[in-house]
Amino acid sequence: MGPTMAMIVFFTIIILVIICCLYFIFRSPFHYPYFIYSIDISGKRNPHFDDLIDVFIIEGGFPLVQQHIERLKAWNDQCRRKIDKSILKSYRIKQFQKCLDYNNAFQFKFTRMQTRYRQTNYVKNAYKVSQVVNIYTCNYAYLLERKNLLEAISYERPLRQYYSKNQRNLMTKELRNTVILRDNYTCQICGKYMPDEVGLQIDHIMPVSKGGKTVLSNLQVTCSKCNARKKDKIYYY
């Protein structure tokens, strides 16, 4: 290698080192800490994302949201201290402000279990993988508002279902069984015990016609005779 070529290589290395140094000096040290939570929607067809968020809150997820808000505050304080110590203060402030993403701070990943196949020795073996099918982003204000609205209805149901006009369609097999077990197969009006479930009916304490909701606190076990006499009256044991 001649002296000219050696000089070219030397200066090339110097330039690359300078570029690397400048990159590490001027790159942003700030990375916004998102809240990421996965929700499995396998078996659910066209679920409403608001309902899924409500279920997350109903099942005790809001403390996780509050914990993340505390982490965001700590991260913000840490960034401020880093900016105050920097010799590129105005530049770092711009980088910090650019990375802020409060409106999308909370990210909910909706996943489905999908079947895949692996072939070994000419034999196909099925296995499951979790696949992200959608991502729902929101801010803290949205979650706090839904939490307050759910709290006002004692976390009975997702808001869309609670205010649905088709309350009778919300009676599921699981909810019916929960009411039956809670009331011990016993009519809450006359006290008839129905372990074989013959004549056992689930009644809305506050009738649907008068604004009653299909929620656990508004349901009771009755026998067919009591339910027929009750009609749309408000009566519970």
Q: What is the pLDDT of residue 236?
A: 46
Q: What is the pLDDT of residue 234?
A: 55
pLDDT at 235 over 60: no
Q: Any idea which residue has 């040290």 for tokens?
A: 29
Residue-wise pLDDT for 63-104, tens only, equals 999 999 999 999 999 999 999 988 888 888 999 999 999 999
Pairing status of strand 200-204 against strand 219-223 = antiparallel
Q: What is the pLDDT of residue 149?
A: 94
Q: What is the pLDDT of residue 3?
A: 67
Angle (CA) 49-54-57 rounded to 5° is 130
The helix or strand, by DSSP H or E, that contains position 23, with its residue range, turns out to be helix 3-26
User: Domains of the chain: which residue ranges?
Assistant: 27-142, 165-230
**How far is it, in rounded angstroms, from Cα 78 to Cα 111?**
33
Q: Which residue has the higher pLDDT, 61 or 127?
A: 61
Q: What is the mean pLDDT of residues 5-11?
A: 71
Q: What is the pLDDT of residue 87?
A: 85
Contact 104, 139 (CB under 8 A): yes
**How far is it, in rounded angstroms, from Cα 161 to Cα 24?**
52
Q: What is the pLDDT of residue 72?
A: 95
Closest-CA residue to 201 (of 180, 172, 174, 175): 180
Q: Which residue has the higher pLDDT, 73 or 121?
A: 73
* Mean pLDDT across the chain: 87
Residue-wise pLDDT for 183-231, tens only, equals 999 999 899 999 999 999 999 988 887 888 889 999 999 998 888 887 6
**How far is it, in rounded angstroms, from Cα 78 to Cα 167?**
50
Q: What is the pLDDT of residue 37?
A: 96
**How far is it, in rounded angstroms, from Cα 237 to Cα 191?**
9
Closest-CA residue to 111 (of 128, 88, 126, 98): 128
Q: Which residue has the higher pLDDT, 153 or 230?
A: 153
Q: What is the mean pLDDT of residues 4-33?
A: 76
> What is the CATH number that goes with domain 165-230?
1.10.30.50
